[in-house]
Every structure is written in structure tokens, then in C-alpha cells.
Structure 1
Amino acid sequence: MGSMSRCLWVLMVAVLATVGLVPMVTMAADADPLQDFCVADNSTGVTINGFPCKPAAKVSVHDFTFDGLKKAGDTNNKNMVAVTPASVIQFPGLNTLGISAARIDFAKGGINPPHTHPRATEILLLAQGELYVGFVSTNNTLYATVLKAGELFVFPRGLVHFQLNVGKSPALAFAALSSQNPGTQQVAPALFTPDIKDEVLEKGFRIDGKTVDMIQAEFRDM
């Protein structure tokens, strides 16, 4: 077999291997739509992996418009941040389209604490201010930088990530996420709000019982 033939054979094997992986990749994301659109009909009370479709005859252009990101959120809270989501819950026109968005307002010093989106990759556009942003890989490597206005940063799906306003003024960012319903789970509240046995937290974080009680009280009062 000549070198050209071997190259073609290797290329063919690579293509077939890639095609074989496509179903595995697509299973890890929102399902592909089976029609032009499927505006969510939340009035039925039906619970499925997604939302039932509103009858096409009742769909209007207003179902594909959302103005909820125009106004700044209220940053008067412990984290000094306001996340305004535009997922299928708030914007039914996103149903089956595999995408959503969010507005994130930061007061000076505000933080969007370490959290994950189990169903989506997130890309963040900083519109105003300076943010220290980053994520941690599954081998505990930190990828972090300071973003300036107009710059983008991507947070891979499911990985713990954060944003901190390190500028001298409020900051504003917009996020796009690769799921109609990405989900958000903040790390600290997820562990210290439920009634997890203290011994688990003491050993898991290598802290004593008094520290566990102190942190639990902080999050349970929020």
C-alpha cells in the first residue's frame, strides 16, 4: 500500500470514528428540535424532559421577544450581584432551541460565587467594568484572568466557575448558555444549606464542627 493510500485509509478511519462519536455528543446536550419552533406551553402542568408546545395557531411574534434583560438587577444582597436569567422558564420561545441568556449586574466588589451549570457551556461578554473570572478543571487546574469591557470568556459545561468585580465601578456582563434550561448550582449553598451530616463536611473540608456550624448559619440565614 502506497503512502497516499495509507493516508487516505487513516483519514477514512478518523472520519468514521468521529461520526461514531456524534450520537454520544448529541446525547449530552439539549435534544434537536423536530419542528421550526415549539413555544413552551406552561399552562398544561405537564412535566416532561422539556416543555409541551403551544399550539402553532396561538403563537405570535411576541413569543419570540423578551425584554427582561433591559433593566439592571438589584445588587443589594450579600453577594452584591444580580443575575437576571432568560431561560425557557422566563422566555418560552426558547423551548427546544438549546440556548438561553442572562444579564449579570455587579456592584463594586460584587461576586457571582463559585457555581456550575450542569446542562450548559457558558460564554460571557463583559459590557462594562473589570471582572476577575475563571473556572477549575476536573484535575483542579485554575484558568483565570481579568476581563476588560468588550472581551469574552467561556466556561465549559459543568465546571465550577466564578466572576468577581475587581474594578472601581459597577460592572455589567451578558451570558449566553448552550441549553434552554442550563440550571445553576452554587457550590457553598449546595453543601451548607441542606442538613448534611456534620462529619461529612468536617472531613470533606478538613474543618472542625464549630466552623461547619458557623458556615451553615451564614447560608441558612440568606
Structure 2
Amino acid sequence: KAIIGGTAYFHGRPVTVIAQAKGRTTKENIERNFGMPSPEGYRKALRLMKQAEKFGRPVICLVDTPGAFCGLEAEQRGQGEAIARNIFEMSGLRVPVISVVIGEGGSGGALAMAVADEVWMLENSVYSVLSPEGFASILWKDSKRAGEAAEVMRLTAGDLLKLEVIEKVIAEPENYTRENLDKVCGQLEVFLSDFLKVYTSFSIDELVEKRYQRFRRI
């Protein structure tokens, strides 16, 4: 339930949009498993991607997850395999793929939707291999040092842009609410339009090779 998606139209062009949803209320968060996808969710995302590939539709991924669901039942149903399969299939997907981290981008749960031609981040989002609490627990055996861990991990949009892990940072208003959401969406619309113009001009072989080289460089 944490993965939602389907076909939409962007400036008259059919695209496939896949998102990780958390919900706004406690009830919605519980229904969406607090944005932590199960193996079935990742397989759903992959089905949508392969369908997009079949019909030549670009893929737009909106990433917002603290990580994949780590419960025993998820592992029993093949969580690791589902994430690995998405990463493998996305690396060779024969249509343009753009991933935008809009909140949390945690661990393999985010990477399974971020093997893209470009990765963008909202200004105040984070993207990392694991949570600062997890990092502190592993490195220092003390989760209370999460703040210190966050500094070391360099997980902010600005840091990752400097490291060339991502291609673009999307500015957010100082007081970002649903009322001024259009300011961010307006920027995103322009950037997406430019992205699609550029990446749909590549041949399939050029597109896949460019994506391959992007991750070789990282």
C-alpha cells in the first residue's frame, strides 16, 4: 500500500508516475505502513515500469520513504530480492527515468526507485544509505548520536549535489505548506518538461549507456 502509481499525461505526453505514499493522518500512515514498501509494492512498481517500457512512456518516480519494510514477513516474501530486481531492471530500462526525492530517501527502499537517468531532491529532503540513528548505532553503538551521524553522512540535498550524487536541487519556500505547494510544483513542471525534451531525444542505446555511465561515475 506504500507504492502507488499509474499512467498520467504531462503536457499531453503519456507518462508513468510511481510514488511512495505515507499519508497525512495516523490512520493513513498505518494504512500506508508509514511509507515503507513491502516486496509486493516493489514488484508492483516494477510491473508499472515494464509496462511503461512496453508502450514507450517515460517513468517519473517520487521517492519518500524511511526505507523498505524490514519485518520478518517481508523478508520471508523476498524483500531483498524485490529491491535487487528493481535496481537491476531499472539500470537497463529502455525509456527515460527521473526520480525525485520529495522527503525521505532511505536505504535500498529508496534506491529501488532511484536508479534513474537523473535524481533530483527537494531542498529539505534527505537521501542516504540508512538513517542517522542506524548509522550511529552501527558506528558508535549509540543511536542518541544521530545528530552527529547526520553531519558525517552528508545526506542533505546540498551535500549530495556537491558530491554529484544528484543532478538538481529544487528550492522550497521557507514555510512550506499545502497552501504554497504550487511554488514547488511550478518549478518541478519546468524541470520535468526540460528533462523529457532532452532524454526523449536520445536513442534507446544512448539512453541506456548514459544511465550506465552515470552510475559508473558515482
Instruction: Identify the structure with the greater strand proportion.
Output: 1
| TM-score category of the 2 structures, normalised to the smaller one | under 0.3
From the CA coordinates, give the structure whose radius of gyration is larger.
1
TM-score with structure 2 length normalisation?
0.25
Instruction: Identify the structure with the greater helix proportion.
Output: 2
